[in-house]
Amino acid sequence: MLCPMTKWTVNDIPQQNDRTYVVTGANSGLGLETARALAAKGAHVIMACRDLDRGRAAQARIQGGRTEVRRLDLADLESVREFAAAVESVDVLVNNAGIMMPPLRRTAQGFELQFGTNHLGHFALTGLLLDRLSAGDAPRVVTVTSSLHRTGSIRFDDLNAEKSYSPIGHYAQSKFANVLFGLELDRRLRKAGSPVLSLLAHPGYAATNLQSSGPVKLIALLGKPANLLLAQPAAHGAVPQLYAAAGSGAESGRFYGPSGFQEMRGRHPKEVRPVRAATDPDVAGRLWAVSEELTGVRFP
């Protein structure tokens, strides 16, 4: 049985002076809380945000450390390339940003928006930054997924939602892809003898703007009261990914979530199990090959 961490909290994050973190989607929710906690420990945090004005407004709410806002649109691979090219050094990449259950939309390159943003954008970003991560101090890649990955699968025959589209189903697919990617990245890094660690995290049910601003109208309407009644604060939801990013005991290839009931909430992280289908190296390898083809990014 997997046991909770020993009451670990953000106060247990070691000092992060001289360390650089890239946090995607850092202008709100889990990303903002992650950036805030790391900056409070002295880290240099690059807040990767699609909207610079919102990013700067979020930056103004952070104290400590050194933060800077840079534009990154994960739904546009050209933006991903431009962002990555400007990053001189990085120790930890937190693949946090995501979109949730919108109406059918496409990325700049024509991919289904959730798969293109949540998976392909982060896949490309990680590959483009891997050389600088490899030169970093105790480098890590943290990929943030969702407990809904357990209902997902990869529709290899319809990745682009040309035959059918389900906001919930395609969200689950993108989160399932996150887990496949994080575990496959760990396998490849270990085989290559790389110093980079690959870890996964999920926040449980945390109150962010994902549930109310992104989804189709009916789901968004349901999300607002559910957030008020059931969700834990974003600061609590960010704890598993902060442990994965900066906890001294976090290990590569591991998956961390909230310690409370059904992994839905909790102030402390614990190691959790991904759904068994997401641990299949054959499916992960197939997704990796498809992702390289679609993004044009091949890992060094």
Q: What is the 3-state secondary structure (H, E, C) of 101-162?
A: CCCCCECCCCCEHHHHHHHHHHHHHHHHHHHHHHCCCCCEEEEECCHHHHHCCCCCCCCCCC
- Residue 197 makes CB contacts below 8 A (sequence gap 6+) with 138, 139, 140, 141, 186, 189, 250, 251, 252
- What's the number of CA atoms in the CB half-sphere (13 Å) around residue 35? 31
Please spell the DSSP secondary structure of 233-264, one letter per residue. PHHHHTHHHHHHHH-TT--TT-EEEESSGGGS
| Residue from 171, 205, 243, 256 carrying the catalytic annotation | 171
Active site residue 205: no
- Give the active site residues: 171
